A and B are shown apart, each in its own frame.
Chain A
């Protein structure tokens, strides 16, 4: 009887799930986004939802160039004066006009609102002036060449001043922006639903009627949903699942370079735990690096999908230093370096790894490889949030960790490598690197900055406060019905141009 009723329910469900939906794109996210207020938001996946909700002053394209979005153009009238021309005829989801006053309001909100996470991104901003209804002038306290790139992300999102004033801190419960889709509803941990905004300034590029973001934390379940056709797009497919997607005729796999990196941060001067052979002698770190074969790690753990790398800048960045390539594994040379440094063998290394299958596996491979050169690697797997806290407090010797990356190279290097950098857990401080990094912020032209970053990257590859391992890829799984998806290294899912075949 029981079995029969289950069968009946199964058959019923079959009929139901077969029903087609009209131009609704269902997107699986790796976690539930936090608050949907561009000023207060912190998470990566939140930015994916914002790509549908909130347009920015500028956007980036596939080659990381800054392109207009809500702004038409920008011009530095001097190193601290940025004049931005706005796109005419843009309206917010509540029908209010997007003008210079709204831009001033949003930028000031990002800068001054209590709890703002944008403040640290734009705190070089002194004031915003309304020149005319479609022109704003931003005056900086000091020259900052990375500033415009900050306006290509949440700091450049413009919210409706009327709605933001009315809602205050609760704005994120019902955000009102000027993006292609407007907010419909959110059920925490279940879904975020957006619908097409007919008055969008670029309405012609929007083919979808609705977008539903579904947080599905388990990667195999995201894949199962994609295979079963109950979602059309999944961000972050595991490299080990890539073949399952590729071999399925109804699915498509799209990979693109990511802005970030993965590497091993070494404690050089952050508290007593820095006093290790690895922390105190660059030759020992070089020996450790020479004992590793990045290509093997990439092949075994990531199915060969990621890009082995020896610097903190993404291969997609115009500032990527092509002359700094991963060194070939050389155990003999590693042993020689250890001898030269006078290290007692085996050299103990306490390696903290995040408690994920791929990171534990990477740790074990490193352990085996480094052992051949004379290192005794002990692995501690720790939940990531706890490990990050510990790293900030200096309670680590070597920590396998990564960074999601930023469009401007400043975002990948300054905070980590500058002596006063906010995320410099290693407490690396080199006067030459500090001076170079300071200088990159004042130079505007790409060629000039590239020359400076080339020197920074080269010095870091000798000092090795971070042993960079690879550049992860953005691996997106799509239903074959999806057309017009355009991968950009920031991993955001831009909805412009996407449509669904019947």
Chain B
């Protein structure tokens, strides 16, 4: 196991390097000249354009631009936003807690709905419980986030006036107001993931419940819920953890549409605004940080497998 983890760690660096090259290369394919975008209504003045290009190294060759950027990144400098002149690192640091909070809340909601629903529908398979759980799962999977978001705003904020429709208050500033501003987007995000978690938990549980050791546990006269939760569920957890890590990683990369709808100033909104404004250093910085987070989460999932399932320790 230790060598397995060691191998995974060794893969991390080349992966991040590849991501950096991809991010850098792909955005060169975006149509629209960043200098023209940055110049705004002054775009007609060639002197202004030339000045922007030279200031931002846009007049150098691509490899020179890349090595200039990656060299700075290795020294811990992610550059500064072309649009608002703030350092990318500080932007990332201000957005990270927002995204972490939203992701944690959404994931918690997803776990609280998805896993119990999955277990229930597997245990009570082909009963009304199962059908209802499946229906909820299907609805969650097929409802677009932005639509659900707008509907919730119209109902909960505009009609009922219970929650603020958008915006964000940091946890440290006022935790109650913070929860009030994040509960709807967290629910929207969590709802979609709950559906996926529910489907996977259900199918993993169905497979496990049919196995011999479950029959043995039942034969020993154990309480049914002990059989289900302690014996079957623990064994069914591995695929669920894998999926959970992937979904959490996606959440951390920023819930683009949901953040846009609820005006939550997280990674998703940062990256979307940066793409539209051709603010390349911000796009590069955020994607790089997200890729690192994603890789870290998958490493964590590898460790978790072993904690959950001791048999994997010898593998």
CB neighbors of A among B28-75 (8 A): 30-33, 36-48, 51-52, 55
A345: min CB distance to chain B, Å? 33
Residue among A11, A117, A214 having the largest count of chain B Cβ atoms under 10 Å: A117
B189: min CB distance to chain A, Å? 14
B-binding residues in A (CB < 8 A): 2, 6, 9-14, 16-17, 31-32, 34-35, 40, 42-43, 114-115, 117, 119-120, 169-170, 172-173, 187-191, 214-218, 220-221, 224-225, 227-230, 382-383, 385-386, 388-390, 392, 403-404, 415, 421-424
Supposing A17-B161, A224-B157, A383-B31 touch, asked if A32 and B38 sit within 8 A by C-beta, the answer is no
Further contacts, 11 of them, CB under 8 A, given A9-B180, A13-B180, A14-B161? A2-B113, A10-B156, A11-B162, A13-B176, A43-B40, A115-B51, A188-B81, A214-B263, A225-B164, A382-B31, A415-B44
What total of chain B residues lie within 8 Å of the partner, measured CB to CB? Answer: 61
Q: Could you list 13 examples of A-B contacts with CB < 8 Å?
A: A13-B176, A32-B273, A42-B39, A119-B48, A188-B270, A214-B263, A216-B263, A225-B167, A388-B43, A403-B41, A415-B44, A422-B44, A424-B44
Are the CB atoms of B85 and A35 closer together than 8 Å? Answer: yes
B299: min CB distance to chain A, Å? 30
Question: Which chain B residues lie closer than 8 Å to A216 at the CB level?
Answer: 166, 263
Are the CB atoms of B85 and A172 closer together than 8 Å? Answer: yes
CB neighbors of A among B137-186 (8 A): 150, 153-154, 156-158, 161-168, 176-177, 179-180, 183
Are the CB atoms of A14 and B43 closer together than 8 Å? Answer: no
What's the A-B contact tally at a CB cutoff of 8 Å?
Answer: 169
Closest to B146 in A: A218
A10 to B277, CA, bound (A): 36
A385 to B265, CA, bound (A): 23
Question: Which chain B residues lie closer than 8 Å to A16 at the CB level?
Answer: 176-177, 180
Are the CB atoms of B157 and A389 closer together than 8 Å? Answer: no
Closest to B278 in A: A385
By Cβ-Cβ distance, the 6 closest A-B pairs, closest first, are A422-B44, A13-B180, A190-B265, A386-B31, A42-B40, A386-B32
Are the CB atoms of B45 and A422 closer together than 8 Å? Answer: yes
Closest to A406 in B: B41
Are the CB atoms of A188 and B84 closer together than 8 Å? Answer: yes
Closest to B48 in A: A120
Q: Does residue B187 face the partner (Cβ distance < 8 Å to A)?
A: yes
Question: Which chain A residues lie closer than 8 Å to B269 at the CB level?
Answer: 189
Question: Which chain B residues lie closer than 8 Å to A423 at the CB level?
Answer: 41, 43-44
Are the CB atoms of B36 and A388 closer together than 8 Å? Answer: yes
Q: Does residue B297 face the partner (Cβ distance < 8 Å to A)?
A: no
Supposing A34-B84, A35-B85 touch, asked if A13 and B42 sit within 8 A by C-beta, the answer is no
Supposing A42-B39, A388-B43 touch, asked if A228 and B32 sit within 8 A by C-beta, the answer is no
Supposing A42-B42, A224-B154, A224-B166 touch, asked if A385 and B36 sit within 8 A by C-beta, the answer is yes
Question: Which chain A residues lie closer than 8 Å to B45 at the CB level?
Answer: 120, 422
Question: Which chain A residues lie closer than 8 Å to B86 at the CB level?
Answer: 173, 188
Supposing A214-B263, A221-B165 touch, asked if A383 and B51 sit within 8 A by C-beta, the answer is no
Q: Does residue B23 face the partner (Cβ distance < 8 Å to A)?
A: no
Which of A17, A169, A218, A404 interacts with B261 by CB under 8 Å? A218
Closest to A1 in B: B112
A332 to B312, CA, bound (A): 82
Closest to B161 in A: A228
Question: Which chain B residues lie closer than 8 Å to A389 at the CB level?
Answer: 31-33, 36-37
Question: Which chain A residues lie closer than 8 Å to B32 at the CB level?
Answer: 383, 385-386, 388-389
Question: Which chain A residues lie closer than 8 Å to B39 at the CB level?
Answer: 42, 117
B57: min CB distance to chain A, Å? 14
Q: Does residue B11 face the partner (Cβ distance < 8 Å to A)?
A: no
Question: Which chain A residues lie closer than 8 Å to B262 at the CB level?
Answer: 221
A225 to B41, CA, bound (A): 30
A388 to B43, CA, bound (A): 9
A190 to B150, CA, bound (A): 19
A372: min CB distance to chain B, Å? 33
Supposing A187-B94, A392-B43 touch, asked if A228 and B37 sit within 8 A by C-beta, the answer is no
Question: Which chain B residues lie closer than 8 Å to A217 at the CB level?
Answer: 260, 263, 273
Question: Which chain A residues lie closer than 8 Å to B55 at the CB level?
Answer: 114-115
A211: min CB distance to chain B, Å? 15
Are the CB atoms of A230 and B276 closer together than 8 Å? Answer: no
Residue among A6, A221, A415 having the largest count of chain B Cβ atoms under 10 Å: A221
